[in-house]
Amino acid sequence: MKKLTSPNYVLPLVVGSLKSMRVIHDPSGSFRRLKRKSEDLPIVCWRNAVRVGLEEMVEDLGRVRNAYRSKNWTNFQIHSPPVALEAALVHSSLRRKAVLTEKDLLNRSSQGYAPRFTSTLLTGAGMKQAKTKEVMNSLEDVSTSFYREAKDQRATPVSFSSALSGLPP
């Protein structure tokens, strides 16, 4: 029980299972307490989730950039959707909202996405018809904007000077 109630500040958040579990028998109320704790996480947990999300997003964005520059459209199509989904996770973590399912990531109303971000997210995820240049631009815009927002919240990865310069090795 202590491991579940004491967050590990090194790892990103994973609270969806605590929030969505269905308990049949809980006479001591332990699961109810866990659910409440999952909704009241310390700010450092959210910041760490943003850091890890940005690192993954920028790494995958580097793959997308490389595929775009080398005109490798197969790799471009493979790596673009994960960047968009990682952007959605970063968006949620920046706003301290837990994502319970992958379906929630693309749900504008549950995540409170602005219309422009919804359009950009769907374009980047390949769920909206767009030219490769539009997809690339939408992913670049989202990564840059989230990096700035994370910087304002002091939640940026230490190793990044900007989202645009972060390329995988």
146 inside domain? yes
**Segment 127-146 mean pLDDT:** 86
Are residues 82 and 63 both part of a single domain?
A: yes
For 19-39, what is each residue's pLDDT tens digit? Answer: 556 667 778 887 777 767 666
pLDDT tier, 11 (very low <50, low <70, confident <90, very high otherwise): very low
Are residues 27 and 49 both part of a single domain?
A: no
- Tokens 């029980």 belong to 1
Are residues 6 and 80 both part of a single domain?
A: no
Are residues 55 and 28 both part of a single domain?
A: no
pLDDT tier, 67 (very low <50, low <70, confident <90, very high otherwise): very high
Are residues 30 and 81 both part of a single domain?
A: no
For 85-103, what is each residue's pLDDT tens digit? Answer: 888 888 888 888 777 666 7
Count of structural domains within the chain: 2
For 73-89, what is each residue's pLDDT tens digit? Answer: 999 989 988 888 888 88
124 inside domain? yes
User: Which residue range(s) make up the domain with 141?
Assistant: 43-152
pLDDT score at 38? 63
Query: Cα–Cα distances in Å, from 157 out to 1, 17, 20, 147?
Result: 30, 26, 30, 9
Tell me the CATH number at 69: 1.20.120
pLDDT tier, 55 (very low <50, low <70, confident <90, very high otherwise): confident
